[in-house]
Chains A and B, each alone.
Chain A
């Protein structure tokens, strides 16, 4: 039981490049979330999903897109990376009857 996994662990992009971050969970959780963590700002919600095929915007969605084609996977895309998107990205999931979210190990992204 791996829990929540994220790939890649670290990536460097040039401004304007695109990339996709992958989150996978093996706990059969309905809800999945993408956060970014910046110094002094805690974790901020980017997008979330309440089930396969559904997504919604969180607190800071601009510049990101997401897809949830399979229940266990939640993808975060950056179409045209900007230096302001340099951050650590965390994926999380939870079950329907739970309040606690379980986090992946994070992806460190540097945009030059």
Chain B
């Protein structure tokens, strides 16, 4: 059974702190790993990672994948109150040409940033 585990489940920090969110996985037919940010409503896409060791960056957020050790981390530097959200990690699994691109999600990390 495919499994994605995120840690910590919740995190409370103050503005300006740096946080690291973890995502480990055990899946068959790994294709890619996605990070989403979920505020009040729909999850919104942050990053897609397919290759090991290549960092993706967007402003204060960055993420990297380790396919040998089967994990990914999401870093947020100089956190702001607007970073408060649930961060979801999801792994895309597939089976070649007939794949339907199934996403297996972790439980999510609830990040709260206080002023």
Residue numbers of A with Cβ under 8 A of B are: 4, 31, 33, 35, 40-45, 48, 50, 56, 58, 90, 94, 98-106
Contacts and interface: CB of A to CB of B under 8 A. Distances in A.
7 contacts: A33-B103, A41-B107, A42-B6, A48-B100, A56-B100, A58-B102, A101-B101
Interface stretch (B13-21, B42-50, B52-60, B74-82): B42-50
B111 interface: no
Contacts of B4: 42
Contact of B42 (A50, A94, A100, A103): A103
B9 interface: yes
A57 to B, nearest CB: 11
Given A48-B102, A103-B42, A105-B42, A42 B108 contact: yes
A102 B45 contact: yes
A48 B32 CA distance: 19
Interface residues of B, number: 25
Given A90-B43, A99-B31, A100-B34, A42 B88 contact: yes
A87 to B, nearest CB: 14
Contacts of A35: 105
Contacts of B42: 4, 90, 103-106
Given A31-B100, A42-B4, 11 more contacts: A4-B42, A42-B106, A43-B90, A45-B102, A45-B103, A48-B102, A99-B48, A99-B92, A102-B45, A103-B44, A106-B41
A56 B100 CA distance: 10
